[in-house]
Structures are given as C-alpha cells and as structure tokens.
Structure 1
C-alpha cells in the first residue's frame, strides 16, 4: 500500500478510533522506569504483588421473627435479654449485632414473647457497606498502595464474610488493623478490680498524631478531643466514681478491643480541673519505645475511622511473598506470549498469507493493549484470574476475526465493495450475537461477590465490548484495503 492509501485508510473513522484509543491506552498504562526497574500504572492483585488477604466472619445474626406483642416492646425485651445491639432491617427481620446460636435465639425469642422464623449468620447489606467504608478509611490511614475491601453478599442480601486484600502489607499488621473491631472504650475503676463504663469512641471528635508524652521522652501517646456531650459525660462519671477526689484508688482505663492500652490515675491537675468544668482534651499513653509507637499508630487509626458496628473474626488469611508474586508475574507473561505465538501459528496454517495473518495478529494485540488501558483507567486489579481473562479475550478475538475474514473472502475471492460491505455487516451481526451471549454468561460472576472470579468476568466483558465496538469494525476496513490490492 502507498502512503496515500494509508492516509485514506486512517481517515476512516473506525480505523481512526482504533488508533486514537490505542495511543490513549499507552498513555494510561504509562510504561516507564522507576528506581532502575520497568513499571506501569497497571494495578496488580495479590497473585502478582506481594501482600496479605484476610477473610473475616461477621459475629452477628440476621433473624426473622413473629410476635403477637407490640413489636417495640418485644424488641426492647429481647435486647435486654440478649444484652446486644439490635438493628431493625424491615417489619419482620432484625440484625442482632452479636453472635448467638440458633438454639440460644429460639429460647430468647420465646422468653420475650416471640418466635424465631429465619436464622442466618452475618449482617444486612447496609451494615456490610458501612463496614466497607470504615475499613477503607482505616486502610487509607495506613497508607497502603493497593487495598480492596469486598463484602461477600449472598442472594438473600445477608453478608457473612468480608474479604480484604492489602498489597505490600504483612499478615501481622493486617490482622492488627482490619482483623479487629476497633472498639475504643473508657472505663473508671470503682472498687477493687470492678470498673464502670464511661463512654465509647464515638464520643471522640478529633484525633491527634502519635507524639511523645511528655515531649522529649521515649513514651508515646495519642491525644484526642471529646465532643461536648462526651466531655460532660466523662466529668460526671469521674466525679460520681471518685476519680477526682481519690485518683489513686480509681484508675482511668482506656480499652481497645478488650485490651487495656492505658491504665493510670488522673493527674492532680486534671482531677482539679474536672471538679470545676468538663475537660475535652485527653491523651491515651501507649508505652515506650518502638512497641509504644506502633501501638500509638494503630490506636490513632482506630480512633479516626471508628469501630466496626459488629465484631469480626478472622476466618482465613494468607500472605504472598514478593518472590512468589514475581514468579507468578513472569509465568503470566510467558503464558500470554506462548498463547499469542500459538494463535499466530494456527492462523498462518489456516491462510498461509502474511498480508492476512499480520493485520489479524496486530489488531488482536491492539485490542489487548486497549483493554489494559481501560483496566488502568478504572483501576481494575490484574490477578491470575484476570490474566486468564486476557488470554480468553485473545482467543475469542482471533476466532471472531477469522469469522470476518472467511465471510468476506467467500470462495477465496475479494468481492466488490457493495457485496463486501454486506458480508462484513453479516459477519459483525454474528459476532454481536456471540458477544451478547458471552456478556450474559459473565454478568453473574461480575456482579456477585465472588472476588476471585470477578476479575476474570470483568476483563472478559470489557474485551468483548471493545472488540465488538472498536476492533472488529476497524479490522474489516483494514483487511478490505489490504486485500483489494
């Protein structure tokens, strides 16, 4: 083809769109060197990037009920009997934010004048989304490079598990931050080892950064400010339980997830001030040295993001070291290259004509580049399942290009432009029907909370859409221009 013919081909809007999207995709992927290593803007899942995954089980129950009593009275008595927070989902379904067995709930419901009708361990969709937001805030505070929080919600709308994936984070640190509820509580010692509740972390308004307390020492702490209501509540409790008049016998305890992070009497200065007015500024000391600093950082994250509405229990966990993730990445690249070469050989054996094979392989690879550009733009993580999706797109793409080529080369001849266009339209129609069936088949995997399969489904759907809308029509114009010569 001459230069003028190439220019005329590029003026075709379908071919021009392919070229423009290809250039934009390279920009989005942004291959470049960093710290002496080749890198891109592509985001990798844990299979291809060192990090940790945790699957946590909600310690709560979604229960259906029936009662002849006024519902408000029934739920009030049930809450007192269970000593647990109850969230009403709808007219006959509640979320009990504490775990109980079915037998325990049946007994409690009967004592409160009701009957248990359905039982599922987990939380409602609304609570699962609330947990997701809180965990994302904690992970943002942790400064992780790539983090993904995915509540696994069943068809009934109940979420039993939430899966968290953290790139570049060790297993111990991940369990410390997201594997716990993060409930902060202040209690005051009354008599002996007995303590009374004063307030929870939701009474905290602002949180400071870890600092040395006192300044210049090796002891660390986190300052925080109480709300006005929380400050009044704290002052009233301190006076009521004698912490302001006899601090040595009434320690102030600060507790995180059942573990005491601070226990000491009020200072004489603070006790004197509390007798006069509420005090909003407090400090939680976490200890000395690196251990105290790490504890202060964790406490800061939990105080800023708040506690999860329900307790969670780590049901499964895993860690992918950097060496293994690099090996997976290398093997994924090798698998893709081998698949491309194998496809090229099969196509060459089919047509034995480089003028057909090279455009076919080139358009197919450009489709993969555009797909990676879209994945980079929407920040879709690439894991081994997504790589399998890329290879599947490569195979189905060649299959559809073969359909176009065979359709337009009927009896081995290039038809007139009018007949060519009719045959191309017919081939695209066949491909579109095939694409719709693939999308319908993949949609359940893409929409359901099956985190290990979503990447495969999303990449496959994106590849099919890009192929039908961009690369197949462009290939039809390109192959026509080449074969007509």
Structure 2
C-alpha cells in the first residue's frame, strides 16, 4: 500500500469518526479550546433543529392597527409580511411560516422558539425610528410623544405638543450593536446614508448645539441626548439602558426597515407538534427499513463492492446529518423525506459504477483496469443526473422562498445537501475503498465482484 493511499484512508477515517460523533443526537455542543491555555476558542450549539410539524412552536396572529373602516392594500400587507420574515430570520430562526390571512391579518408560525417574548418584541413592533427636535424639553426614556411624521395628526388633544421629525429610520444606511467605550453598556451604532440625510443631520446639529435631539421608536422615547457638537459624517450611537438582547432587537428593526402598516397582536399561543410522536417514530422506522433493505440488496447482488458501498453509505449519512447540524437545517417531515431520497441517489451512483465494472470484467479486463474504466465511464452519467437534481432543487427552493412554502424549501435543501455529499461518497470514498482492496491482491475471483 502506497503512502498516498494510506493518507487517503486516514483522512476518510477521520472524517467518518468526526461526522458520526457530530451526527449523534447526544452531541449538542461543539466546543474548540486552546490546548495550551484551555481558553474556549469556538463554541456553538449543534442540536438538531426540528420544524413546526416535529417540535411545535409559537403561533401569533397580527392585525393591522388602523381606524375602523380603513382599508389596507394587499401590497402593504405583503410588504409587512416580508419585513417580518427578514426580522425573524435575523434572529437565527429558520423556516418560519408567515402568511397573509384575509385583508388585514398576518399569521406567524415559528418552530422551536425558546424565548417567545423576545421574538414577539422584535417582529411585532412597527419599528418606526424618528430623530426629533425636542428643543429644551426634558424627555425621559419610555415617554410617549406626538410627532408630525408622516403627517401632523388631526385629533391631538388641545395643549399636546407636536414635535418635528428631522430624520427617520428610512434614512439609515447601517445599524449594528456595539458597546459604549466608557460604560461598556450595549449601544446601537448607526450611519445615515450619504447625501441629503447626512447633510440634514450635519446642519441641524451645527445650528442646535445645546438643544435636545430625541430618538424615538414607535412614538416612544428611547433616549434624549443633548447635542454637544456638530455630527459631520452621519454616524452616531443610540443609548437607552439596553440589554444585549434589546439592543439586538432594535438593530434588527432598524436594519430591515419599518413596517408599512402598524400591527397589533390579537392572538399568541404555543402549539404542539402537528405530527404526533408516534407518527414521527413510524416515519423514522420506515426510513431505516428502506435503508437496511437497500444495504442488503447491495451486499447480495454486488458482494464485495456492495459491502464497501455500504461502508461508504454510513459515512455519507453521517456527513449529511452533520451538515444539517452545522449549517443549520431545520428538519421537517418533508426535509427528512428529501434526505432519504438522497440516500437512494447515492446508492444509484454506486450501482452505475459497479455495473460498468462488471461489463469490463466480462469483456476480459483485469480487476484494476475494470475499476478504473468503470469509474471513468460512469462519471458522466452520475454528473449529469446529479446536476439535473440540483437544478430542480434550486427551482423548488426559489418556489418555496417566493410563495412562502417553507416545507418545499426544506425538502429542496436536504435533497441538495445529500446530492452534493453523494459526489464525495461515490467518487472518492467508494473508489478509495475498492482500489485499496484490489491493491492487496487477496480477493481476485470475479465472483466477489458480482460477476
């Protein structure tokens, strides 16, 4: 056995052991530490993420908060739905189901929610940020104010002060969470767009040093700093006694824009898995029976190559499941079906190779030559069929993303990952195993190779 082949086998073994360990349900945290200092360099939760049908989650109904009799256009509701989806995805939640219901409602289903209050606070608010001219007034965080944006309100009680809005969140270019250099408390850094917004902020701060420019979110004061100097470049920070979570929520609201229509929460409830535990167990059992049946067929029909293909199939499954954890992928029943389907396609690649080998052996080729020619001639068929599947997965993913069919997206993602890993399994792992066994020269009878 050559040194290069030994290195390849060692690499496969390391990948296989690491993937099997990571794929185990009991492996929930991946931590890398510095061996010299013991300091944690990297730590991440790698638990399997289950979808709403497998794990349950949060069900929220939002309704347009507009005067009675006011109609809300379908375009505005759809825009609100898209903004809510972006906000939720920014929290790290995958495959939420968000749909417009009727003329004025949006239904949100989020799988596996750990902190419902934090999630609702992030997507439920309108997210309208205003920088207002408060003059010399003393405003405190949490105080509700009336502003002239988008238009001066007509039904304000007599004596209520209406503040002028200088700039809004629509003028922002970026927003990010940071820490105050002196107090080390969480703050939200912002940068206005170049051009008119930055120029407007520069002129206002230059002409109003010593006055208050309050920062207001959804007509509620976040902070009311006194202008101490001109802001020339459109950058600044928002302070408001934030926790890290609340600062992150504000950042998401600012980054992904204000909702085009105010919404109020009319229903919140925690829902159980739409599929019972018994249904999930039966589905997993059916998948295991299918995989075992295929493995037995490969062993009986292709003999030694079939045994090697089964070993490669174990590595294939472990690598795929590990990727589901690392990316991560939210597993729904449809996603599991996509993974099982990809197992069949991985086996199909091996069948194409082995059948080519058998043809070459029947024509009188040696074992080594038959293996080389079999892999070479089967490659175009494997490549074209898998690329065709990947194109279909891309179309399904686009369809799911465009029309809010997250179940279709989950199926497409797991199938695509499985197909990509099958390239590695069939063309690299199975080939290395087979060439290694042939190179030992101890199993030379053609019967062992299915002929």
User: What TM-score, normalized by structure 1, do the two folds share?
Assistant: 0.53
Match of 1:369 in 2: 318
**Alignment counterpart, residue 5 of structure 2, candidates 11, 16, 19:** 11
Aligned residue for 1:309, secondary structure, equals coil
Q: Which structure's CA Rg is the greater one?
A: 1
Structure 1: tracts of 5 or more residues without a match: 1-6, 60-97, 103-118, 140-145, 154-159, 210-222, 239-251, 263-272, 275-281, 286-295
Residue 409 of structure 1 deviates from its aligned partner by 1.9
Deviations 1:316-365 (A, max 9, x none): 988543796866664554333222123234435545x4x34432222112
**Alignment counterpart, residue 427 of structure 1, candidates 378, 383, 396:** 378
> Would the aligned equivalents of 2:28 and 2:47 in 1 still touch at CA under 8 Å?
no
CA distance in 1, matches of 2:94, 2:210: 41
CA distance in 2, matches of 1:427, 1:225: 56
Residue 394 of structure 1 deviates from its aligned partner by 1.2
Deviations 1:290-316 (A, max 9, x none): xxxxxx999777656545422465899
Residue 395 of structure 1 pairs with residue 344 of structure 2: yes
CA distance in 2, matches of 1:53, 1:162: 7
Q: Using a 3 Å threshold, how does the CA distance of structure 1 residues 27 and 434 change in structure 2: closer, same or farther?
A: same
Q: Using a 3 Å threshold, how does the CA distance of structure 1 residues 206 and 369 change in structure 2: closer, same or farther?
A: closer
Aligned residue for 1:165, secondary structure, equals strand
CA distance in 2, matches of 1:420, 1:233: 81
> Would the aligned equivalents of 2:360 and 2:370 in 1 still touch at CA under 8 Å?
no
Aligned residue for 2:145, secondary structure, equals strand
Residue 378 of structure 1 pairs with residue 384 of structure 2: no
**Alignment counterpart, residue 454 of structure 1, candidates 398, 409, 419:** 409
Match of 1:148 in 2: 94
Deviations 1:389-442 (A, max 9, x none): 210111112222222222212397584022432122112222112112111211
**Alignment counterpart, residue 196 of structure 1, candidates 162, 165, 176:** 162
Residue 44 of structure 1 deviates from its aligned partner by 0.9
> Would the aligned equivalents of 1:404 and 1:424 in 2 still touch at CA under 8 Å?
yes
Deviations 1:62-110 (A, max 9, x none): xxxxxxxxxxxxxxxxxxxxxxxxxxxxxxxxxxxx98549xxxxxxxx
Residue 456 of structure 1 deviates from its aligned partner by 1.8
**Alignment counterpart, residue 360 of structure 1, candidates 297, 309, 323:** 309
Deviations 1:437-475 (A, max 9, x none): 111211112345143222221222222222224433432
Instruction: State the aligned residue count.
Output: 358
**Alpha carbon RMSD of aligned pairs, Å?**
5.8
Residue 187 of structure 1 pairs with residue 132 of structure 2: no
Residue 23 of structure 1 pairs with residue 28 of structure 2: no
Q: Using a 3 Å threshold, how does the CA distance of structure 1 residues 333 and 372 change in structure 2: closer, same or farther?
A: same
CA distance in 1, matches of 2:157, 2:60: 41
Residue 168 of structure 1 pairs with residue 113 of structure 2: yes
> Would the aligned equivalents of 1:18 and 1:470 in 2 still touch at CA under 8 Å?
no
> Would the aligned equivalents of 1:56 and 1:162 in 2 still touch at CA under 8 Å?
yes
Residue 484 of structure 1 pairs with residue 444 of structure 2: yes
User: Which stretch shifts more, 380-389 or 304-313?
Assistant: 304-313
User: What TM-score, normalized by structure 2, do the two folds share?
Assistant: 0.57
Match of 1:178 in 2: 123
Residue 387 of structure 1 deviates from its aligned partner by 1.2
Aligned residue for 1:148, secondary structure, equals coil
Structure 2: tracts of 5 or more residues without a match: 30-43, 100-104, 131-143, 148-155, 180-186, 191-200, 228-237, 446-451
Aligned residue for 2:307, secondary structure, equals helix
Q: After superposition, where does 1:166-245 map in structure 2 within 5 Å?
A: 167-169=112-114, 174-183=119-128, 186-187=144-145, 191-192=157-158, 196-197=162-163
